[in-house]
A and B are shown apart, each in its own frame.
Chain A
């Protein structure tokens, strides 16, 4: 089927109008996966039969007048570091104890199922959401649907590729340094890292205890808002879970940015060495579009941003390493090459420097809140470059001395502020580029409002990769 709805919003409307059933949607997703998954490496494990059972249940509920909300009957993927009842969880690693997944559905998966979502499978990632794709291990290497010679970004790799290619409408990602926003940016879709603690992260393997965030990925900001509405909220099983009220995100999506005050930051983003000219051009165009739609735009400079990014990196190094310290001596060869370096580099960090990084964190939260006090949100690019080629991808090429200066996501994990990545155009080489909108803590509603308004004025988020059209997934 090539004339399916493109978004969760449209699919939800079609289901309620009776123009399609959840079983038909799910069968179409399965057919697309049959064709495209071998080329893209989206899934570690497909759950075709279970998904069709869930879809039939959703259809029966609709017929009985039961309406659980916009996610009812919608096919979604789950990143394979999040525990699910109906499939083992591998964390894309030979090291994870298979019994870890016996705990059953993570709270966030339970919430999606309670909302009637159809889980289509466990999506590919990086080992423990860390490292890089490793072709020497028995797990799929994810390929970018826009050009299969390129990487999807990670670690929400399979989720990002699957949404872009139309294998499901949305999915769960996690973000410790950019693992939702990076694949969203590189695959041309939308993905939000919510405020730290908004979505419970129990039932997810650790990558960074104080940095991990679970969040939704989907084609549009509206779709992400619909997913987050279900996912957010306190859970006592997560020590970091924030006991705050969850507002209605969808009611804010009126399409207007009139009267909003937006800060833009160039010194640490578009003025950084190595940023593509297309990123600069498209970022300025995005700002201009929002300004013409009625938003006020003012340039600011983030204080000590390079220091804050360094503090994030060191915190991440140590927290990752702690989790793997016990296993690394005896399982070194079972880890992928890049994961070994990425995880073990925490050995190189002194304990005092980790504590100092947490003092930088305290300073950073207060300083950035003070900077953004007059504004509703901050806009920056999500990344200064496009997706890299798979050939030659290595720890050294991604973590070396100056490589990370064009990565613009990690600082927001460190400070915990909500940040969404949405498509803003394409590079000269035809790869997606992305805008990032950052809000104040627990102000996801404003972030969604701006992102949704931008997507009503543009159609970047509705573009389809050529491979999906060629293979008949889309007309």
Chain B
């Protein structure tokens, strides 16, 4: 069973990978916001979208 990774560790890893030079105070803001973002993301998976196409249009017609 994998160890639980703390939100601070996760957020720090993401910010570090992005090369963002955050301060300790800024890290805490991102950690608090991570909880908000995760809750929003989790809410997106409603049954109505199970077989829905994403509204991402890749069309070559504009290059004709």
Contacts and interface: CB of A to CB of B under 8 A. Distances in A.
Interface of B: 11, 14-15, 18-22, 26, 29-30, 32-41, 43-46, 48-49, 52-56, 62
B33 to A, nearest CB: 5
A282 B43 CA distance: 32
A348 B34 contact: yes
Contacts of A365: 55
A307 B44 contact: yes
A332 B48 CA distance: 40
16 contacts: A303-B48, A304-B46, A307-B43, A310-B40, A332-B20, A345-B30, A348-B30, A348-B37, A356-B44, A356-B45, A356-B54, A360-B44, A360-B46, A362-B53, A365-B55, A401-B36
A363 B15 contact: no
Contacts of A323: none
Contacts of A353: 41, 44
Given A307-B43, A356-B54, A359-B55, 9 more contacts: A314-B37, A329-B21, A344-B15, A345-B37, A348-B30, A362-B49, A362-B52, A363-B49, A395-B29
Given A325-B18, A344-B30, A347-B20, A363 B48 contact: yes
Nearest to B11: A348
A332 B52 CA distance: 38
7 A-B pairs with the lowest CB-CB distances in the bound complex, closest first: A329-B19, A358-B54, A310-B40, A353-B41, A361-B55, A359-B52, A359-B49
- Of B33, B39, B55, most buried by chain A (CB within 10 Å of CB) is B55
A239 interface: yes
Interface string A54-94: 00000000000000000000000000000000000000000
A367 interface: yes
Interface in A219-248: 239
A125 B43 CA distance: 32
Contacts of B41: 310, 314, 349-350, 353, 356
B23 to A, nearest CB: 9
Contacts of B40: 310, 313-314
A307 B40 CA distance: 8
A97 interface: no
B56 A358 contact: yes
Interface string A328-347: 11001000000011001101
A325 B32 CA distance: 21
